[in-house]
Structure 1
Amino acid sequence: MANTAQPQARGLRAIPAKDRRTVAGGAIGTMMEYYDYYLFGLGAAVVFPHVFFPGDDPVMGMLQSFATFAVGFLLRPLGGIVFGYVGDRFGRKRSLMVTVIGMGICTTLMGLIPSAESIGLLAPILLVFLRMCQGLFVGGEMGPAATIVVEYAPTGRRGLFGALLITGAGVANVFSAGLMAVLGAGDESFFMTWGWRIPFLFAAVLTIVAIILRSKLEESDEFKSYTKTIEVEGVKRKNPLMEAIRHPKNLILGIFIGLPQSIAGYIVLTYGLAYMVQQHSVDPEVGFIGTMIVGFLQIVMAPVWGHVSDKIGRRRFYILACIGFAVLIYPAFALFSGGTAILIWLGMIVGFVIPGVAMQGTLQTLLTEMFDVEARTTGVNVGYQFSNTLGGGFAPLICAALFAWAGHIWPVIVYATVIALAGVIATAYASIRPDTEDAGRLHELN
């Protein structure tokens, strides 16, 4: 592994320039992944029911909008498998370049779709099509990004390096919610017609920046060593998916481990916003500002949580974060019901920044430590993307349906708690390679 022999200097400025470029190249894609999905989530909660699914019943419009949100997750597992194969077989950099370009194009085009009032049924059809294409490319993003960043990390700092990817998610929160808040503060007619489109079109700028950063990426020493060994020995390169399937226990448990992380943000921030607007007549602007506050805190707290996981162990920390989510989800929604901006923002912090960011900041490193180098990108992608599809993708829709059925929030709380406990059990039984082991040695986990 690169840099394992370097002194354990403290502070991000002590990280060599080459490693900083690697972290930046990985984080920009994570930023775009979360920017695209948070932006779509905010649009699904506030804008899309009026623009693409107009009708007399606001609840039905919201359900249709969240169904479109969920559709984007259907192709994420396929993207995870396809680009995981590319990353393990041909290099992490190649996979990362394709995914970031695909994400940027899809998000930009969403901002150009005419409203249903202009082109009728074709409008939601185009939205669904682009959403599915977006999901395909997003599905291939986290695996190679997490793998290349963690493979570069010095021993004892993998948690910190992996968590730096989630600082990109925090920046995405600030950008997406900040732009929506600024634009939403003006004339409502302008916002519903053109204003909401500007953040989507801004994805084109982010894509150009990402291409520049990722063009400077280099493969890790661990991957180079593996590739050189294959070439020197003249053996046939292993199929990454088949290698990952050889460890079915970790492959399956990785999906369950990721479930609590996958639903946290989409329940607290995405469905939470719709819940406040629909049930408590909260101005969407309050939710946009709250999401932006969460983003700022996420930038700071993600590396803090990653550092803590380096100190007390990935497994133990992730289990504590899952339990924290189960305990804090009800207080978060109780604060949402208070109706005041301060209480709502506090609820977002309690429900997401504390447990959600802790899970997000740890998961990708945890998954990389469950698979060997020849199948690591595929293994991470399968666990991360299948859990996001089964959990996060349908979380807002499930929550909206549960509330519509029961008329109160308790079924949503139970749903979140059950998912959190599933994550605890899966993490407890997974085979995880300790950070202190030589990452260059191919190690059988099961």
Structure 2
Amino acid sequence: MPTNDAARRRQSRRIALSSFVGSAIEFYDFLLYGAAASLVFNELFFTSLNPLTGTIAAFGTLAAGYVARPLGGIVFGHFGDRVGRKSMLVLTMTLMALASFAIGLLPTYDQIGIWAPVLLITARLVQGIAVGGEWGGAALMAMEHASTERRGLAASFANMGGPAGAVIATAVFAAFSALPEHQFLSWGWRVPFLLSVVLLAIGLFIRLRVTESPLFTEAQRRAQESAVKQEAPLLTVLRQYRKNIVLSCLGGCGALVLQSLLATFMLTYATGLGYERSTVLLAQTVSSALHIFTIPAFAALSDRVGRKPVMISGALVAAVAAFPLFWLVNSGSAALLFAAYILGNPILQASMYGPMAAFVSEMFGTRARYTGASLGYQLATTLGAGTAPLIASSLLSSAGGGSNSTTVSLFIAVVCLVSAAAIALTRESHRSDLSDAEGTGAALNTEGRAAAATAGATH
């Protein structure tokens, strides 16, 4: 007969796999938009603008999805902390697939005028709300099923979904971009979005078979037995964990700025330098494939030596490497373009991003963890990933375009240094006890410590 520990390990592996597959499907939909915004939307939805302005406008709609992500984190976080992690993950996946399918059916600017970009932005906002609720639930489901010594690795499976989704999205988009130009612009770009309904069926099959988080179940039992009325999770986060929200947001910006620029801005930048579109997409696909393996590697390292040493080292190295990263791309060599992508994603970005899911989640107590982790992370995506392509395009435009990338590199360096400083201000959490209903977050402020002490005495 299998032991309870053996059964728990099997269940943990099943949950981690479901977090990975579910996140990969969600991020396929979300990141597919980035590729289309870089290569298609400026021509189809902003045709009245000149090419550079149209590209900036397309990146503006990309940013709209990131702006909506904190709202999704708050809404789905609230019900995830009250009702359960699993049901929210099923709902976010369905919402994302329907929004992506709708994008594939949208008429263009030439067909309905200004309503085309309006509908595009609306669908993108729905995508943002959906993915805003997805990440926190996927990370928590995996982390709350794992043992203390494997929490970072388990939580990283949600982050692995990002590059996995990027591989699928880029590969599918690249396949259709190989069509003749007029066919690609008329119908080819739509097919990857329409395929979302197929991925939805796969994702729902997997997610409906997992069990609820044991930590959430225990916290819910305690709440039902307690005579004290439970306040809304968002109020708990704002009252007890304000400092944690700020530090998790700033601490995550470096990784997310780098991720966003490599996934979107670099496509436009490299093709503008003369690289073939297929070459850039292939480089992005290869680096994302490697990224899937380096994210858990850095997360596992953080389980051994701590979240802070791994993430701070990655941020400092990225700040320095931001300049040679663009020098490699500016060389005009396809081999060096591949080297830039591999340096940027699987090494620099993964060193910060791998431990991030556990780093952020460990800052909050169980009864408000979905809300707190989602809000902290999604604010980082909005501030970092959501605005980065728009800022980089504007900096490049003000520098005269072409290969004048110094200001973009400086922008990356400054953000990474800010992230390193924010992470340094947190308390190491890789061995903290998450079974406490109030948590022992990485940077628990004075109010949080008092509440935790009170809860400990009560129980």
Common fold: TM-score over 0.5: yes
Deviation at 1:32, TM superposition (A): 2.8
1:263 to 257, 262, 276: 257
Q: Does 1:350 align with 2:343?
A: yes
Q: Which runs of structure 2 are paired with 1:141-152 in the superposition (5 Å)?
A: 141-152=134-145
Q: Unaligned stretches of 5+ in structure 1?
A: 8-13
TM-score (norm 2): 0.91
CA change 1:443–1:58 in 2 (3 A) is: closer
Q: Does 1:309 align with 2:302?
A: yes
Equivalent residue number for residue 412 of structure 2: 416
- Is the CA contact (8 Å cut-off) linking 2:30 and 2:127 kept in structure 1? no
1:393 to 386, 390, 403: 386
Q: What letter matches 1:214 in structure 2?
A: R
- Is the CA contact (8 Å cut-off) linking 2:433 and 2:439 kept in structure 1? no
CA change 1:200–1:174 in 2 (3 A) is: same
CA distance in 2, matches of 1:256, 1:244: 17
Deviation at 1:33, TM superposition (A): 3.3
Q: What letter matches 1:173 in structure 2?
A: A
Deviations 1:87-134 (A, max 9, x none): 111111121111111111101110111222222222111101111111
Equivalent residue number for residue 431 of structure 1: 427
Q: Root-mean-square deviation (CA), in Å?
A: 1.9
CA distance in 1, matches of 2:230, 2:21: 30
- Is the CA contact (8 Å cut-off) linking 2:149 and 2:431 kept in structure 1? yes
Q: Does 1:38 align with 2:31?
A: yes
Equivalent residue number for residue 243 of structure 1: 236
Q: What letter matches 2:145 in structure 1?
A: Y
Structure 2 residue matching 1:16: 3-state secondary structure: helix
Deviation at 1:250, TM superposition (A): 0.9
Q: What letter matches 1:267 in structure 2?
A: L
Q: Which runs of structure 2 are paired with 1:34-433 in the superposition (5 Å)?
A: 34-55=27-48, 57-245=50-238, 246-278=240-272, 280-407=273-400, 408-433=404-429
- Is the CA contact (8 Å cut-off) linking 1:166 and 1:298 kept in structure 2? no
CA distance in 1, matches of 2:418, 2:234: 25
Deviations 1:217-259 (A, max 9, x none): 2122211111111222343223211221212111211111111
Deviation at 1:412, TM superposition (A): 0.8
Q: What letter matches 2:175 in structure 1?
A: V
Q: What letter matches 1:401 in structure 2?
A: S
Q: What letter matches 1:164 in structure 2?
A: F
CA change 1:37–1:324 in 2 (3 A) is: farther
- Is the CA contact (8 Å cut-off) linking 1:370 and 1:431 kept in structure 2? no
Deviations 1:263-321 (A, max 9, x none): 1111123111111112x122111111111101210122111111111111111111111
Number of equivalent positions: 436
Deviation at 1:360, TM superposition (A): 2.0
Deviation at 1:24, TM superposition (A): 2.5
Structure 2 residue matching 1:193: 3-state secondary structure: helix
CA distance in 1, matches of 2:34, 2:256: 14
Q: Unaligned stretches of 5+ in structure 2?
A: 446-459
- Is the CA contact (8 Å cut-off) linking 1:369 and 1:435 kept in structure 2? no
- Is the CA contact (8 Å cut-off) linking 1:156 and 1:436 kept in structure 2? no
Deviations 1:345-364 (A, max 9, x none): 11111122211122222111
- Is the CA contact (8 Å cut-off) linking 2:287 and 2:346 kept in structure 1? yes
Q: What letter matches 2:10 in structure 1?
A: A
The farther-off stretch of 165-174 and 198-207 is 165-174
Query: Percent of aligned pairs with the same residue?
Result: 33
Deviation at 1:36, TM superposition (A): 2.2
Q: What letter matches 2:143 in structure 1?
A: V
Structure 1 residue matching 2:354: 3-state secondary structure: helix
CA distance in 2, matches of 1:438, 1:130: 37
CA change 1:167–1:426 in 2 (3 A) is: same
Deviation at 1:441, TM superposition (A): 5.5
CA distance in 1, matches of 2:221, 2:372: 22
CA distance in 1, matches of 2:439, 2:197: 41
Q: What letter matches 1:194 in structure 2?
A: W
CA distance in 1, matches of 2:105, 2:52: 26
Equivalent residue number for residue 10 of structure 1: none
Structure 2 residue matching 1:139: 3-state secondary structure: helix
Deviations 1:351-392 (A, max 9, x none): 222111222221111011111111111111111111111111
